[in-house]
Amino acid sequence: MIRKSVLENIPHLESTRGAMINAELAIKTRKYGFKVTQVGVNHYPRLSGKPTGGSIRVIVKSFLDLLRLWWKLKEQKILFMLLLAVLALAAFLRLYKIDEYMIFLGDQGRDAIIVKNMIDDLHFPAIGPPTSVGNIYLGPLYYYMMLLPMVLTNFNPVSASWMVAMIGVATVFLVYYLGKSWFGRGAGLLAAYLYAISPVTVNYSRFSWNPNPLPFFAFVAILGMVKLQKTNNFFWLILTGFALGAALQMHYLALVLIPVIVTLWLYQVIQEKKKNFLKGTLLGLGAFLLVMSPLFWFDIRHNFLNYKAVTALFGKGEAVGINLFSNIGRIPEIYNNVLIGRYMAGENILLSAFLSLTVLALLIYWFIKRKVILAVWVVVGLLGLSFYQNDIYDHYPGFLNPAPYLLLGSLLALRKFKWAIAGLVIIITIVNLQKNPLFNSPNNQLKRTQEIAEFVINKAGGQDFNFALLAKNNYDSAYQFYLEVYGYEPKKLPFEKTEQLFVVCEDEVCEPIYSPKHEIAAFGWTLVDKEWDFAGVKIYKLVHNPKEPQ
């Protein structure tokens, strides 16, 4: 039931011959300030005729009408088109010739083998990749994320890189969304653009590796806290709990998000109005535990392997420092050199210093303006990073890296110095694009691995063989994956010794006969039967030395 005054004041209804008229009426009524009240009614079966609302023609027409209405009512169309342009740019930078530029080394081969075994052998792991320190293992979520794209492409590893790239584009959109929510559309758009062109974020969105989706899941966890703050509804903790569990399975430095989330939760608890406080908190905790449950189950079954490794790591104090004052002293270096210098300033010293001061000033300003979530995210995040005593690599601040972009984008919300901001954006763009990985020559690691695997199989002459890799910064899983894909699984030493051992050497100097590497030493006393230079590496065929000492 509609008052006559509504129809007299809202714009002309256009969906007069389609099912969209009800939606159009509701949208325009709310848009022009009229109140809508819902009252229950009874529905009865029709006595004659046939319903038409379920026909494909009516449904398609309704969606087309909806899109036309949305575009007609869309405010600030130019900003919307600019957002589409930013997302298109982000997609191009992350997807262009991804098969030629993507990293495909030992870690990627290991993951691909595990995903292949999940289908071939129905072996579904409860534990994920090992970390670089302390014999600690991540959860298996990343393997399950890889599963669908690799199955759909017949185990093509490029599909996993495509997945990571699209997650990277989704992260760019989240930067825009949260920036728009906090500071307005223009600020969100600027933050998203700068994040989209960052050479570090581009690089880590162009190959498959478990830490690469971390910024996305960290952002979703923070987004849940933003929604909680706006609505005072603690059911949003379900989203945060799920995303936090996912982030931890990408990289354990996401542990720093836990004190961030707890601090924001405590801040929200002291607010006067709270909806579903206890139930939402318990469900959020339950969502976190559910996502982490495979790892917990693995630990229970394996004598708490991970738990013991973590406690030993903290007990030694080597990788994790407990001296608070010493850790605080490391924050300026981490903030200026890594979070700003590498991500935003392309390692330009002057630009790094200027952006560091600018972002810091904006952080203080917005904290005073009660942007508590952003301040806690940055301050607690940097403090948490300072506890890690080893080198801070580019992917380590993945749980934190979107925050400085939101702060820098907020310059547009101040509505001052627009020409200066435009100049700064141009400088950042030039510096970042100069460092863009697409300006480097493709590494063609995937193609080279495929060619070498085919070469080895061909030279094996249909006979069984063992396989080994000599490389300072790689291991053999990438080759093992393609050897399996091409129909041959090398025999494992020492229990499946064959008559020939193929050794791929990626280092400048190799002496395979004298190598202490297990895959070579277990083959026994050898001599070089043949040697080839192929695809930029040396390949040796070793056979047993008949003069092997007894």
Encoding tokens for residue 104? 């495909």
Q: Which two tokens stand for residue 74?
A: 């869309």
Average pLDDT over residues 190-194: 96
Domain boundaries, the chain: 1-39+57-72, 79-439, 445-544
β-bridge pairing 466-470 and 526-534: unpaired
The Cα 102–Cα 208 span in angstroms is: 8
Helices (H) and strands (E) in the chain, counts: 24, 4
Helices (H), 387-513: 402-409, 418-434, 445-459, 477-485
Cβ atoms of residues 540 and 503 within 8 Å: yes
- Of 136, 143, 135, residue with least CA distance to 110: 143
Distances (CA, A) of 312 to 138, 256, 295, 299, 491: 16, 19, 18, 15, 36
Q: What is the mean pLDDT of the chain?
A: 89
Of the pLDDT bands very low, low, confident and very high (cuts 50, 70, 90), residue 321 is low
Tell which residue, 114, 112, 213, has the closest CA to residue 158.
Answer: 112
Query: Any idea which residue has 């993507």 for tokens?
Result: 102
pLDDT tens digit sequence for 363-417: 999 999 888 999 999 999 999 888 887 788 899 999 999 999 999 999 998 877 8
Residue with the larger pLDDT of the pair 361 and 66: 361
pLDDT digits (tens, 9 = 90+) for 256-269: 999 999 999 999 88
Q: With pLDDT > 70 as the criterion, what percentage of the chain qualifies?
A: 94
How far CA 219 is from CA of 137, 222, 239, in Å, comes to: 23, 5, 11
pLDDT score of 19:
67
Under 8 Å between Cβ of 504 and 470? yes
Nearest to 343 by CA among 403, 424, 387, 253: 403
The strand pairing partners of 247, in sequence order, are none
CA distance 287 to 283: 6
| Model confidence band, residue 25 (pLDDT cutoffs 50, 70, 90) | confident
Average pLDDT over residues 208-233: 94
Virtual CA dihedral for 166, 172, 173, 176, nearest 10 degrees? 180
**pLDDT 10s digits, 44-56:** 888 888 776 667 8
